[in-house]
């Protein structure tokens, strides 16, 4: 991984970036892009099993693919939740029928997924969920609310953690359900508008939504075990690809600091060097822990490192521009949504980095309890 800040770029990559930026933006184009990747066999490289329309790759090959994908400027994936979270979970815990039904459409880029975990009263405290699923013959009827659900407005399916045993508490009595999103009147998706003006997250309301009994992964009441297994797949090869994007953002900030003269400030220089050094450290830590198992604190340490680093980069991105950072790239009007340039978007969106995916407080609690062996934090009854 090259952390240099050269403005030169390979001609192919430059042309690819321009084409992708102009074509892969709307939902229909994102789906076309997923199908294109699927047709070439590039979805599901990290699954432990082949035969579902995917090809498998070694860990080194997966890293090379992920880094080159990020370095080329290819668009953010719409199918990453199905590929990187659901796929490995089904390989580990799904029945043959479930794998044969759901993995081929993911590998082909045909079906997109979202994750139904967090709730208004149980965002970081996953065991406190209140969404219920009541058995009704060969189906479950699901009632409740999920929040901060990424890509729910585009997804075809959602894997939902719900309480299937009445009066159960905490991590007991939960099940992992595969739920179709196309249920008008039973599922409502409401976008959440963010500071950036975009709506990447959603509220999802379930009002008697159906899920088939054969679409319970791992068995009824085993949802916590399956959910924890899924979270173990959440951070891996993708972390190294993420750092490619971070390096490009840092390179842009350095170039702006030079152009504006902010780099002459010794404090700014020190902050830039620190950002560079910390990014290098994150890379070596990711390589050190990649493919490892049995270290319950590794994912939490990684999340703490990159979330805080990215927030500080956002602050630095607007700081080196001075007052100019407060002016948008287009005139504002009361009838049109405001626009942000790349640095402004980085600054505002990165405020959420220390919250989503498990807040910093939750990550520190995991490290304290599971790694350092400190007394467990008291949890209230549900």
Active site residues: 234
* DSSP letter string, 162-184: EE-STT--TTTTEEEEEEES--T
- Provide CB contacts within 8 A for 258, sequence distance 6+: none
By 3-state DSSP, what share of the chain in percent is helix, strand and coil, each rounded to 5? 50, 15, 40
Q: Which two tokens stand for residue 298?
A: 């590794």
Report the C-alpha gap between 261 and 350 in whole angstroms.
Answer: 25
DSSP collapsed to 3 states, 85-153: HHHHHHHHHCCHHHHHHHHHHHHCCCCCEEEECCECCECCCHHHCCCEEEEECCEEEEEEEECCCCCCC
Q: Residues 262, 269: contact at Cβ < 8 Å?
A: no
Q: Residues 242, 306: contact at Cβ < 8 Å?
A: yes
* DSSP letter string, 188-253: EEEEE--TTS---EEEEEEEEEEEEGGGEES-TT-HHHHHHHHHHHSSSHHHHHHHHHHHHHHHHH
Report the C-alpha gap between 135 and 145 in whole angstroms.
Answer: 18
Exposed / middle / buried, residue 279 (Cβ in 10 Å: 0-12, 13-18, 19+): buried
Report the C-alpha gap between 293 and 235 in whole angstroms.
Answer: 12
Report the C-alpha gap between 88 and 45 in whole angstroms.
Answer: 10
Element (H, E) at 288: helix 266-289
């Amino acid at each position: 991984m090259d952390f240099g800040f050269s403005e030169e770029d390979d001609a192919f990559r430059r042309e690819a970036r321009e084409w992708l930026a102009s074509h892969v933006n709307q939902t229909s184009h994102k789906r076309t892009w997923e199908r294109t990747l699927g047709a070439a066999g590039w979805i599901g490289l990290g699954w432990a099993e082949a035969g579902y329309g995917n090809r498998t790759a070694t860990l080194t090959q997966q890293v090379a693919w992920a880094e080159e994908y990020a370095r080329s400027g290819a668009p953010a994936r719409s199918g990453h939740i199905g590929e990187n979270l659901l796929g490995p979970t089904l390989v580990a815990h799904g029945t043959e029928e479930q794998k044969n039904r759901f993995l081929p459409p993911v590998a082909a880029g045909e079906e997109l997924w979202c994750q139904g975990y967090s709730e208004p009263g149980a965002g970081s405290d996953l065991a406190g969920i209140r969404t219920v699923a009541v058995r009704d013959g060969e189906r479950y009827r699901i009632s409740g609310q999920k929040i901060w659900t990424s890509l729910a407005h585009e997804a075809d399916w959602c894997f939902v953690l719900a309480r299937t045993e009445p009066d159960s508490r905490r991590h007991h009595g939960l099940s992992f359900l595969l739920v179709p999103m196309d249920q008008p009147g039973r599922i409502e998706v409401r976008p959440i508008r963010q500071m950036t003006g975009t709506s990447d997250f959603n509220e999802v309301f379930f009002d008697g939504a159906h899920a088939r009994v054969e679409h319970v992964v791992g068995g009824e009441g085993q949802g916590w075990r399956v959910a924890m297994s899924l979270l173990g797949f959440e951070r891996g090869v993708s972390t190294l690809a993420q750092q490619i994007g971070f390096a490009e953002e840092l390179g842009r900030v350095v170039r702006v600091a030079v152009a504006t003269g902010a780099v002459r400030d010794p404090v700014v220089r020190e902050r830039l060097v620190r950002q560079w050094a910390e990014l290098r450290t994150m890379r070596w830590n990711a390589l050190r822990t990649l493919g490892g198992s049995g270290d319950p604190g590794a994912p939490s340490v990684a999340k703490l490192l990159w979330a805080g680093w990215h927030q500080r980069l956002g602050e630095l991105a607007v700081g080196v521009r001075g007052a100019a950072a407060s002016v948008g790239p287009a005139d504002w009007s009361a009838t049109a949504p405001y626009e942000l340039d790349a640095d402004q978007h980085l600054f505002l969106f990165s405020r959420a980095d220390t919250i989503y995916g498990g807040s910093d407080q939750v990550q520190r609690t995991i490290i304290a309890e599971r790694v350092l062996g400190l007394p467990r934090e008291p949890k209230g009854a549900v």
